Amino acid sequence: MTVRSNARQPLNGTASDAPGHGQQREAEGWQLVGQASHELRTPLTALRTEVELALLGNRDASELRAALSSAADEIRRLCRLADDMLVLARAEHGQLPLRPRPLEPRVLLEAAAARARAAAWVRGREIVVRDTAPGSRLLGDPDRAAQALDNLVSNALQYGDGTVTLAARDDGELVGLHVADQGSGFAEDIAECAFQRFARGTRPGDPGSGLGLSVVAAIASAHRGMATVCNLPGGGADACIALPRA
C-alpha cells in the first residue's frame, strides 16, 4: 500500500472558512498538546531520575559519567522532539522557511549515506547509493531535503533490516528520493497512518517519537512535492520524498 502526502494544495488553504473548521482545529490542537505531553514525559522522567541519582553523593566517577551520558542522551532526544514539533507547527501555518535552489539527487543521496554509515555500521548494516537519476536536478532547500533524507534513512535503520538502498527516480515532474530496506515492510497498523503525527507501530520499547515521517511529509508539502511509503513486492519497505524537478 502506498500512503501519499500530496502537497499540490497549500497547507493554509481556504478550508478554514468552512463551518465547524475552527472547532475541529481547536480539538486537533488539544490532541496534539496531549500527545506531545505524553512524549515529553518519558525523557523528562528519565532525565530527572539520572540527575537525582547523581546528586545522592554515593556514586563513584564511572557511575557519574554513565549518569551524565544517559542524561545527555535524553537531552538530545528532547531537542529532536522540540525541533520536529517546531517544523510541523511552522509547516501547518505555511511558515516553514525554505531557500530552494537546483540540487543534484546524487549529491543529496551520497551525503545522506555518508552521514548514516556510522549508525549503520553499529547495527551491522550497509548503506548503498544506486540509480541517482544522472542529469536530473530537483528544486529544493538543501537543508530541509537533507533533514528529510536523514529521517527516512534513520527510519530504515531503526525499523528495517538488511541493506539500505538510496536511489533517485525522475518522472518528469517530480524527482523522487527513495530509501528502501530489506526488512518485513510496514505493518498494517502503521502503513495506513505513516505520516500522521506520533504514528508508531506496536513494537515494545519503541524509542522513536513518531514524528520522523510527519516531518518528511511536512517538508514535501512545503516544496509542493509528495511523500510516499509502500511495501516492496520482494520484501522490505520503500519510503520516498519527491520534490519538484528543477
DSSP 92-120: HTT------EEE-HHHHHHHHHHHHHHHH
pLDDT at 62: 83
What CATH architecture is 101-244?
2-Layer Sandwich (3.30)
Q: Transcribe 157-201 into DSSP letters.
A: HHH--S-EEEEEEE-SSEEEEEEE-SSS---HHHHTTTTSTT---
In this structure, which topology does domain 14-92 adopt according to CATH? Helix Hairpins (1.10.287)
* Residue 99 scores a pLDDT above 50: yes
Check the CA dihedral 142-195-200-185 and report its sign. Answer: negative
* Residue 91 scores a pLDDT above 80: no
Residues of the chain with CATH 3.30.565.10: 101-244
Mean pLDDT value across residues 99-108? 96
pTM comes to: 0.69
Mean pLDDT value across residues 186-210? 60
> Which residue has better confidence, 107 or 82?
107
Residues of the chain with CATH 1.10.287.130: 14-92
Alpha-carbon distance of 161 to 94, in angstroms, equals: 36
Alpha-carbon distance of 170 to 205, in angstroms, equals: 38
91, containing H or E segment: helix 61-92
